[in-house]
Structure 1
């Protein structure tokens, strides 16, 4: 009987995976940015970020190709016209306007007919960003500021804690950690992350109800985050998985940002069934277009803590020198 069970069980897992794939496809169809609806402020802003980051990259090369970037400049101008006509502006709309001014102001661009035309069109817009956009000089000295004296002391001192002091982490520290984590890379710098945070017992209980890994300590978590990514930021079909990658990068940055501030955390997996994802959304107010990547339990560590050793695999099991396959490079 056990033999039959072990033969049948993998097919049940496969069916669950297919159900999950179908659910994820439905969400991508319903909420992702593949329709390129530029009247939607969020979709337009993600598109603007994608285009102006391409211009930033063009501006950052020491030896720029003559004439580089103009097609992106015109595409960005069209988005800015849409933003102006609708009168509803997002951060990336304003950033794109500032960046475009910087682009046409480059020495090699400023006297061209294209720059004259774009300048005349930009002059009709009454918005721009107060932040700096474009490029800056980044020296070896700047880089060295981030080098840790003992990286091992920082990385190897972090453990997942499941028991915390009976004390809330302040909103100020939470926001500081999120701000630090926002330096995370993302596809075309679209920054599609969104963090939901609560300290309210009722809300925490509702959010954790369908999370399978908080048994035994969930009722004593001081602060809880739900980390999500916005499907509207992802446009091409091959980006159907990108929200998980960008969300994972941001989540790890956030965990280490909290660690750098002395705040303990425990990752709470949200690899859940479509049914549980729907039940969570029925209980707590998460936007339909936001994909739940994971939850994070947060709190101050006690003076003495018991932690899982969680030994790491040998390095040679996870590291391989990459080579070209024999006969594979023609």
Structure 2
């Protein structure tokens, strides 16, 4: 069993943000249609529907304030029960924050509406390993997602009373609940030798997200998460020893390409990650954790780049 935790954010430049603004008419919101922004946030939620090191942690700065206008973090992992019973189970928990800005007007007065949209989502997957060779596995997975976007509007009540746009219902402590369903196809390659270890995974995912239930009427919508990713890791002994086991160095490569509504919503269609780190082996001792790994990753794409720190444990 293996799981990972990202403990630092990936800083990306402000021009990575692809959510555009539109000017609307009198007695409404200027700076963008709320439903359009909420649909974009639902599309952003799709970045955390599958375990993916390239988008496990993102932080995008606002071009005017220099502060993060969007950020997300993800905790996830997966495992196969055993070779004799090759049921595969995976899960992710994710949090993201988006701070869009709107302007309200009643025709004579304008007021900036600072908002904060917090998104929580969880995805689970159940699959089955079909062994092609001793080292290569084909794994179909069924995925399900549940999530919520909550809006927190900080504004004087007088402005709320005078602006009578239905979009404001969502901005003023509204919420968007979403569910998703779909699946993934995975090719998983593992080769373990005394002098090196290789892990590689090719994955294609398609998940449909849709609002439901108590979602504010003005922001109901849907989005499609479509992604193809390639991930590979090389581990080999460094010559050092700790905990009566070799200390391994780790090299990692990951590439993700986004399709559907995920494509371009943050200003890029693909991300590449290059990582290097160390791994401690504690398997000699009677503890639950068998390996602990720390990595530094450089992530880049079209007009975006940054550094993240990753931490993972194996059971």
TM-score normalised to structure 1 length = 0.21
More helix by share: 1
Point out which structure has higher relative CO (alpha carbons under 8 A, 6+ apart): 1
More strand by share: 2
